[in-house]
Structure formats: structure tokens, C-alpha cells
Amino acid sequence: MVTVKTIHTVQPAEPTPNEIMYLSELDQINAVTHAPTVHFYGPNTDFHYSDAIQILKDSLSRALVIFYPLAGRLHESGLGGGRLELHCHAKGATLVEAETESTVEDFAKQNFLPNAKMRELIPKMDYSNTPICEQPLVLAQLTKFRCGGLSLGLGISHVLADGTSAFHFINEWAKIARGEKTGILPVLDRKILQIEEPPKFEHTALTPLPLIIGQPDNTEERKKPTTIAMLKLSKEQIDKLKDKANKDKLYKNTSRPYSRYEAVAGHVWRCASKARRHVDEQLTQLHIAVNFRNRIQPPIPQGFFGNSILREAAITTAGELLSNPLSYASSKMREAIDQVTDEYIRSYLGLIKALPDVSVHRNFHTAWCALGAFYGNPSMEVTSWTSLPVYEANFGWGEVIHLGPGSMGFDGKSFIILDRDGGGSFTLALCLHQEFIDTFKKLFYEEI
């Protein structure tokens, strides 16, 4: 049980530009929700809770000067078609003080499972009854545990930031809290991605998703109860999967070896399809988040603050996926990733720009909304956080001992997270229908 003590509105410490900021086409189709994460910190007798909350308030107000768009609010655009615009007017972020009788160890014993208990460590937002123009773009909650440990639960607007940008903000905020100089300043000009070119390709991200054979829609799949698992993979197990993916020359369609991500995600895809008992003819997709910062020409400047993720999908039948070796799954992923070229990215942005209504394509695939696209059965979504600087947010009271998603409420959603120990191990955070989870776990380890 978490008890909220105080809710603060934190505004920028200095005057910031008062303007309406352009939102890119990718911003326009992102979820009007917040990406939930939780940082955990062990007990530190040198820090009082009151000191910690004051440090967070002061440093956040200064961070919001540099990242001033995060202190603004989204509004419906006069252009119509479901489009939004960003009003930068220093309304501020929400910072919650809370405490709980639980300990950090209580969460560690459950492998920091992103369940309902974890969700209490992040500020709540009633999306149904709160107008968009009143929703803060940054939600933060500092929770004190009985043991003296702390957690920082965060929700950062999907519309404003992808993972790279979100952790850029978080880690610069932490530097300010530690009294250090900030590093790379954010590049706030979103018109870098303003494209005036017509679409040239068909894009899987905006095409209908496959359904279970015999079902007219995904209503039944949405209703089924889900459960969450945190599955550890040692460096040795990861290396074994990578070797396995690269072993079969028949599907080695590139001079570059398949990566750890392509091997592990391909393994997850195969295990999910087998656990779900798909018939051979069943179409299945694996959704991949492709960071195109260095794929578009010229490359996006370092420090760009915004969204630069293009969702791609590898697609095949369950029969092909399971009758072939792991290298086949990895090869389908590689095909999807490699098609994200400069020309392809520009075509994708042009296609979104030409849409009469962007809201129908917004991705509400989060734990907080039950509308829009559904990436669950017969498909999967495997997102890698392994290249993100997720353990750098030391605000002065110690190193991060764990960082993970704050909630995962939809079937088929998963994250690969690099473990804190530095040994190269991964944790797979996975949400799957309850009826399939035990079989999945068994296959996940047996078929390595």
C-alpha cells in the first residue's frame, strides 16, 4: 500500500520560450499516454527523505529550463484530422511524494515484476476524464520504503520522447541534482523531421494486423486474462542463442552476423507461436522498434529530443517460423530492419502526413488504454532497452539498483533489459495470456 503525502507542480526555474511547437509526423501517431518506468535505489543513511524530495524539486525545475517542451501541454490542433500541437507555456511537471511500508527487497524477491503493486509507484493519470490540455507531460513520484530505500517512478509523454530522448532527459536531470555540469544539450527543433515527400512504399506499421484464423476481430484476444513474467538469460545462454542463429548458412542473408537482439527476439517469437499452438497457416508478426537516427540522411543530430523510432514488422506463417531453425526468424527480422533506409523513412513520414485522420493510427498499445492497435496473439512485440543508458540516474543518494517498466498490461508486449550486474545478462519482461505462460517459460529455456 502506497500513501501519497504531497503533490507538487514543478515549473521551470527561469523564463522559457512561450511558443507553439511543431510536432513531427511520428509524434502525431504516438500514444497520448506516458511511458511508465521505475528506478529503484537502496537505503542510504546519509540522505533524509525530505532532502531527497527537495533535491528532486530544485533539479527538476532547472532541467525543465533546458527541456522546456516537457513543461508544456498538448492541445488539439486547428488543422483537424486528430492532429495535436504542443503549447510551450511552462505549466510544469507533476512531482508526487509518497511512502510505503513495503521494502525494496519485497520487490526484488518478485524480480521487480511490473504488476499492480509496481504501478502504485508511478503517478496515476485518468486519461478518460482529464482533457489532453490538462495532462502534464512529465509525471514523477518519489516513494520512500520502510527500509530506507527509494524509488523514482516516471511517466514521460510518448508524444514528446522516445526511449533515447526520455533517458537523455532523466540522466541530465540527475546530473543537475548531483551538482554536475550538463552534458549534451537537447536539440529541440522537431522540424528536422518535417518531410514534404510523397510515400513510395507500403508500410507494415500502418497496415491491418493479422487475426487469429476464424476470428472476425481481436475482441476475444483482448479480453483474455494476461500475466507477466521476468525471465533471466545469462550471457552464456545469450551467446548460445546467437551462435544458434548464425549457425545455419541457408538463412544467413547478410554479411553481418545476427545480433544478440535478433537471436533472442527471434527465440521469443518462436516460443510464443509454439506456446499459443498456432496452426501452420496462421500469419504472425514480430514488431520491432527501429531507431533511425543514423539511418536517415543527413543523420539526426546527437541530442535530438523527440521521436525517431519506426515500427517495423517481420511477418511469416507459424508453419514456416517453427519448421525452420532460429536463423529463419532472425533472417525475417533482418529483412524488416534493413528495409528502413533513408528513402523508406521519408516515404513513411510522407504517408503519415497524407493521412486524413492520424488518430486512427495512434498506438494505444499501453497498459493504460484499451483502444487502437493490438499487437498480441497471434503476434509479438519485442523491444530492446539494451543500448539505453538506463542505470545512470544517480540523483545523489546512490546508484540505480534496478530499472524496469512500470506496467505491462497487454498480451504480446515484451522488453529486453540489460541487467545491472555488468556481466552481459538480460532480463526478458513479458506479458502473455495466462493460458500460455507456463508452456512459454518451459520452451524458453528448453529450446536454447
- Please, what are the domains in the chain? 2-193 (3.30.559.10), 204-446 (3.30.559.10)
Structure confidence at residue 251 (pLDDT):
59
> What are the tens digits of pLDDT across the range 320-350?
999 999 999 999 999 999 999 999 999 999 9
**Mean pLDDT, the chain, whole residue set:** 94
Question: Distance between CA 93 and CA 95 in Å, rounded?
Answer: 7
Structure confidence at residue 197 (pLDDT):
86
Structure confidence at residue 70 (pLDDT):
99
| Residue 365 in this model has a pLDDT that exceeds 50 | no
Average pLDDT over residues 240-267: 87
Structure confidence at residue 250 (pLDDT):
60
> By the 8 A CB rule, do 140 and 123 touch?
yes
Class of residue 267 by CB neighbours under 10 A (exposed 0-12, middle 13-18, buried 19+): buried
pLDDT band, very low/low/confident/very high, at 364 (cuts 50, 70, 90): very low
What residues pair up with 34 in beta bridges, in sequence order? 157
pLDDT band, very low/low/confident/very high, at 208 (cuts 50, 70, 90): confident
| Alpha-carbon distances of 3 from 96, 125, 141, 156, 308, rounded to whole Å | 10, 16, 11, 22, 37
Contacts of 256 (CB under 8 A, 6+ apart): none
Structure confidence at residue 202 (pLDDT):
84
Lowest mean pLDDT among 119-133, 195-209, 214-228: 195-209
| Alpha-carbon distances of 104 from 38, 92, 123, 132, 291, rounded to whole Å | 12, 29, 18, 34, 33
Average pLDDT over residues 115-119: 95
Question: Distance between CA 32 and CA 254 in Å, rounded?
Answer: 38
> What are the tens digits of pLDDT across the range 380-393?
999 999 999 999 99
> By the 8 A CB rule, do 329 and 270 touch?
yes
Q: For residue 175, give the H/E element and its range.
A: helix 163-177
| DSSP track, 121-145 | TS----TTTS-GGG--SEEEEEEE-
Structure confidence at residue 252 (pLDDT):
58
Average pLDDT over residues 84-107: 98
Question: Distance between CA 172 and CA 66 in Å, rounded?
Answer: 9
Average pLDDT over residues 289-307: 97
> What are the tens digits of pLDDT across the range 425-445?
999 999 999 999 999 999 999
Regarding beta strands 19-21 and 2-10, do their DSSP bridges make them parallel or antiparallel, or are they unpaired?
unpaired
| Residue 255 in this model has a pLDDT that exceeds 90 | no
Q: What is the pTM (predicted TM-score) of this model?
A: 0.95
